[in-house]
Amino acid sequence: MVDPKPIMAAAKAFAQRHYVELAAEELEWQDTALLRNGRMRELAEMLKPIAGHDPLVLAKNLTHRAALEAVARVAELEAALRQLLGTLQHADISHRYQGDCPDASDYNRRDPECPACQVMVRAAALLSGKERM
């Protein structure tokens, strides 16, 4: 008997890495009724040991899930950035230039005590997915 957990974990990770390609292939498949040899078939092949007679059904479901998760992340990011921008519009935030604020020689420095640097750090964390709203 095959343990489905590692196969599903690998398949989910694959779908999350390749959701854009998978979604494009599925749209093409819907438009043409032909599924090319691509990521969707690759995902279905991964799922064969646990998917029964039609691994493409499970591959499509994982593709839908990964695409929906991506859309939700984008919506969450947009809301967080809008909130951050709204806060900035009503605040007088500028660099202190008393520590590690970015300057012409190094744009990547951040001063943890500087309000403007704190906003930059928060925005970077939101964009990278390291922080959620």
- Taking the C-alpha atoms of residue 111 and residue 96, their distance in angstroms, rounded to an integer, is 9
CA quadruple 4, 6, 8, 10: dihedral, nearest 10: -150
- Do residues 97 and 80 lie in contact, with contact meaning Cβ atoms separated by under 8 Å? no
pLDDT (tens digit, 9 = 90+) per residue, 14-59? 999 999 999 999 999 999 999 999 999 999 999 999 998 899 999 9
Report residue 109: phi and psi, to 5°.
-75, 150
- Taking the C-alpha atoms of residue 55 and residue 47, their distance in angstroms, rounded to an integer, is 6
What is the DSSP secondary structure assignment for residue 117, as one 8-state letter?
Answer: H
pLDDT (tens digit, 9 = 90+) per residue, 80-104? 877 777 776 667 777 778 878 887 7
- The pTM for the full model equals 0.66
